[in-house]
Every structure is written in C-alpha cells, then in structure tokens.
Amino acid sequence: MTADLQELEARMGQPDFWNDARTAAAVSRKKAVLEREIGQWREIESKLSDLGAMLELAQETGDATLEQELTAELNRFEPRLAALRVELLLSGELDPNNAILAIHPGAGGTESQDWAQMLLRMYVRWAESKGFKVDTLDFLAGDEAGLKSVTVSIAGPYAYGYLKAEAGVHRLVRISPFDSNKRRHTSFASVFVYPELNDEVDVVIEDKDLKIDTFRSGGAGGQNVNKVETAIRITHLPTGIVVQCQNERSQHKNRAMAMKVLRARLYELKRKEQEEKMEKLYSQKKEIAWGSQIRSYILQPYRLVKDHRTNLEVGNVEAVLDGELDPFIEAYLLQKVA
C-alpha cells in the first residue's frame, strides 16, 4: 500500500502531470484514498501498542483504576475496529464514492408517505454518525404527513459502498397513528442507491436525448417561494428516466446537480443490464433485485427488525430507526463475499 502511494506521488511530481485534467483528478482521488487507509492502519497500530502497554502495567501493578481505564479505552476502540472491518469488505470499483439516495413510498397514501419520512430520518442519522455530509437535492412533501419523494446526496468515504446494501423495498408493520380505530397497517417504501460518478467514468448523454423543463421551487410560502423558475426537471428520452433538483436558488446549480443524478442513474441502469446478462449466461438466481423486499420493521404485535437476505434479526427497533444500520450492512457484505 505504501509502495502504491509512493508510485502515485512520483506520477504527480511529473512536469506534465496536470496536462490531462481527468487523469490527474483520478490519480489525486486514488492518492487521497490510499493516504486515508494508511493513516487508519497506522492509527490502529499505535493504539494497539498503547493498549498493550496499559495491559502490562495493569497486570504488574494490579491497579483497579488502571484496569477501569483500560476497559474504557477498549470500549472506545472496538467500534473503530468494527468500522474498519466493514470497510475492508468494500472492494467494488465505485465503493469509495459518495452516494445518491432516493426514497419513494409505496401504495397506501399517508401511511407509506410517513414511513418514507421515517426512512429518510434513519439514513440521515446513520450518515451523521459517520460524519458524512447530507444535502437534499429534491423533496416533495406528502399531502398530510411524510413525503412523496426525496433525493439526497450523502458525501463521505465509502458512502456508496455502505449504502448499496440498503437498496430495495423496506416494509413497516405498526399500529397506524393515522387510523382512529388503531388498526395494524403494513406500509412499503422503496430505497434506491446510486454511486456519485467521478469524471473518469464515461456516461455518454446526448443533448438531443434530453427534455429539460423549468419550474418554480416549492416552499413554505412568502419569501421562501422562488419568484423565478430555478428548479429543473430533466427527462432522458431513450430510457424514460426523470430527475429533478430544486434545492439550489440558482437554475445553473440545479441543472448541474440534476445531470449528476442522471449520470448516476444511467450508470446504474447499464450495470444492472450487464448483471442480468451474466445471470442469464450462468443461469444464476439474482440475490437482490430492485423492487424486492429486503427488510421488515415490525412494531406490532412484537418488535423486531429482520433482514430477509441475511436473516439477521435485531430486537432494538428504536436503535435501528435511529440509524444503527452497520450490523445489517456488515452481514450483507459478508454474504456477498461468501
């Protein structure tokens, strides 16, 4: 790993390195990833050395206070090791990239729209726990509660690698807060995850294939409603993919972000088509398909979150809905490796 970093640094030191901006950007990103990984391993090596020294001293002195301090340090260190263990499972070409995440409620009106809002909160809490940055690209509020659709950008190391485990249909079973008869309802929402593409990933988009519409961004009224049409909706005519962005006040910025989302979705579409061709060739059953139910969150009559791909079950539903998703992500990645 260190040798790879030295090779990249040597390339960046060449006089003509910056002549090819696309290649230079790719090398710079790869260098940053390697520097981060090397830094992590050095940090862990240093921490292990410190903990070893503390253990020896505690054994020699029998100091109860030192033993308590060692236990506290180990408890703080374990989540760091767990996070690195998951990261080591991320070997896909685009796993280190940022992610674009979209949530759409299923049939069921207010119930499903509220469930989609709960999922959005779950992913935002998860991202915040990682120190990732979340930006809302497009948001359409529900009629009474929740949301009709949302697209967010989640920026952080390996954001796509982690979140690709969340793509699919999520099912909620609960006593409805919107039902005066307090009946149990089942709601569904779909989660889509796309990698944010770097410049070196070629996705050809012809201008003639695009239909671009502008409209006024939604808001709470008064000064919050744009007086000009800054929001952008782009339709890719050959595939029928529609993306829109209304988060920025500038039409130019909204268009740039909408094009970024479109590139990501077209790349994912192409990847899925190639995957399906390989499955037909080898007659293998697809493990996870878009639109399949991947996880159930049951709040009534008992409390349980179950992943239907890995059979992992967690009884602390509140913790999961507060963003503790790493056990499910790790189980999914381990299954893929196996």
| One-letter identity of residue 63 | D
What percent of the chain has a predicted confidence (pLDDT) above 90?
45
For 296, the 3-state DSSP assignment is strand
pLDDT in tens, 176-220: 888 878 888 899 999 999 999 876 667 889 999 999 998 877 654
- Residue 30: the pLDDT is 73
Cα separation values, 289 from 273, 285, 293, Å: 12, 10, 9
Q: Quote the pLDDT of residue 228.
A: 66
Rg (CA), the chain: 23
Q: What pLDDT, on the 0 to 100 scale, is given for residue 53?
A: 87
Residue 2 vs residues 23, 31, 33, 96: alpha-carbon distances, Å: 21, 11, 12, 19
Query: For residue 290, what pLDDT band results from cuts at 50, 70 and 90?
Result: very low
DSSP 130-168: HT-EEEEEEEEE-SSSSEEEEEEEEESTTHHHHHGGG-E
Predicted pLDDT at 200? 61
Query: In terms of DSSP bridges, do strands 184-195 and 293-298 run parallel, antiparallel, or are they unpaired?
Result: unpaired
Residue 16: its pLDDT value, please?
81
- The predicted model scores a pTM of 0.73
Pairwise pLDDT comparison (8 vs 131), residue with the higher score: 131
pLDDT at position 128 is 96
Distance CA 50, CA 70 (A): 10
pLDDT for residue 284 is more than 50: no
Per-residue pLDDT band for 288 (boundaries 50, 70, 90) equals very low
Least confident of 72-81, 113-122, 270-279, 322-331: 270-279
**Nearest CA-CA partner of 191 in 209, 170, 205, 175:** 170
Averaged confidence pLDDT in the chain? 84
pLDDT at position 215 is 85
Is residue 130 over pLDDT 80? Answer: yes
Grade residue 278 by pLDDT with cuts at 50, 70 and 90. Answer: low
Q: Per-residue pLDDT averaged across 13-24, rounded?
A: 78
pLDDT score recorded for residue 227: 57
* pLDDT per position as a tens digit, 300-321: 889 999 999 999 999 999 999 9
Q: Residue 88: CB partners within 8 Å, gap ≥ 6?
A: none
- 76-122 pLDDT, tens digit per residue, is 888 777 777 777 888 788 898 999 999 999 987 899 999 999 999 99
Q: Average pLDDT of 52-69?
A: 85
145-163 pLDDT per residue, tens: 999 999 999 999 899 999 9
The whole-angstrom separation of Cα 266 and Cα 271 is 9
pLDDT of the residue at 161: 93
